[in-house]
Amino acid sequence: MDLFIICASLIWNLASAGEVNRIIGGEEAVPHELPYQVSLQWNYNNDSIRPMHFCGGALLSDRWIVTAAHCSTSYTDTGFIEVVAGAHNIADRQEDNQRRRVDNMTVHKQYCGTVCPNDIALIQVAIPFTLGEHVKPIRLPQRNEEFRGDALVSGWGATTPAMVPEYPDKLRKALLPLVAYDECRQLWYDVSHLANTNVCAGPEDGSKAACSADSGGPLVTVNGTRVAEDPVLIGLVSWGPFPCASPWRPNVFTGVAYFIDWIEEHMKKQDEPEQATEPLF
């Protein structure tokens, strides 16, 4: 089966990545044009080692990020996950971005731990982000809302579908045509884990695609070829073909519209202050 999970097992170290072309079939984003995009990075807790980008995510508020469940991972015993907002060139240590350590990460209870539905997780950071022009939340869709047309995927994922892919330092984006579920089901006829809570996107010829390390990154509505003034989060990069950008094999995203209740429930639960109790005597 020519499946791959865009996940930890296929995420390669960025340390040797040089300046390369683009997200597969895409282009470099204008710096800070996607203020909802975040980078999940593994901080080795060692100043001599550059933090490693391994997944993307989307900012929902000053403390909340949504990403893929399979991005819940670790690489070293002493390291930790950081969320980086307002980033463009993740190799530039002097860039004016915001780094926050993860306070907690909530993975959907029905996620199986590999290629399967319910690939969604919420991250709460320990210290709120400072919102502004370069760091802005994205709007959630309506419950079970369906979308047609094109959508924009973005991230710092692989720019080549090779066995040892190349990774960019600067944020990339690609415009993908949305694929109706029934058509996607026919194209992915030989897999059992495609669910009606997934969203599919990608051209038939495979010329544009997300790839490894784009995981958890946002798929959003667009206005023409530019991001709409008020973009809506359609999906999160979940899985796709191996090698990336294979013809007739669209990328598969977690459909955010099918998890609105889950998102709102967990954000509300964590944001509610603990109620003080009084002794009964």
Q: Which residues pair with 81 in a beta bridge?
A: 42
Three-class DSSP category at 125 = strand
Looking at residue 6, its pLDDT comes to 41
CA end-to-end distance (rounded Å), the chain: 66
Yes or no: say if 54 and 67 are a contact pair by the CB < 8 Å rule: no
Yes or no: say if 20 and 168 are a contact pair by the CB < 8 Å rule: yes
Q: What b-and-e string marks burial along 197-222, b requiring 16 or more CB atoms within 10 Å of the CB? A: bbbbbbbeebebbbbbbbbbbbbbbb
Beta strands in 93-187 (DSSP E): 98-107, 121-125, 150-155, 172-179
Digit-by-digit pLDDT tens for the chain (281 residues) are: 334 444 433 333 222 233 333 489 899 999 999 999 999 999 999 999 999 999 999 999 999 999 999 999 999 999 999 999 999 999 998 899 999 999 999 999 999 999 999 999 999 999 999 999 999 999 999 999 999 999 999 999 988 776 667 888 999 999 999 999 999 999 999 999 999 999 999 999 999 999 999 999 999 998 655 666 689 999 999 999 989 999 999 999 999 999 999 999 999 887 765 544 454 43
Q: Which are the contacts of 187, defined by CB distance < 8 A and separation ≥ 6? A: 179, 200, 248, 249, 250
Which CB contacts under 8 angstroms, 24+ apart, belong to 270-276?
Answer: 270/104, 270/106, 270/124, 271/63
Q: Which residues pair with 223 in a beta bridge?
A: 226
Looking at residue 228, its pLDDT comes to 61
Spatial distance between the Cα atoms of 144 and 132, rounded to a whole number of angstroms: 30
Query: In terms of Cα–Cα distance, which of 2, 6, 56 is closest to 211?
Result: 6
Looking at residue 128, its pLDDT comes to 98
Q: Specify the DSSP element, H or E, that contains 264.
A: helix 260-271
Looking at residue 111, its pLDDT comes to 97
Residues taking part in catalysis: 70, 119, 215
Looking at residue 23, its pLDDT comes to 80
Tokens representing 188 are: 């992915």
Yes or no: say if 77 and 155 are a contact pair by the CB < 8 Å rule: no
Q: Specify the DSSP element, H or E, that contains 262.
A: helix 260-271
**pTM confidence score:** 0.88
The amino acid sitting at 34 is L
Looking at residue 162, its pLDDT comes to 65
Looking at residue 269, its pLDDT comes to 80
Query: In terms of Cα–Cα distance, which of 70, 167, 122, 140 is closest to 270?
Result: 122
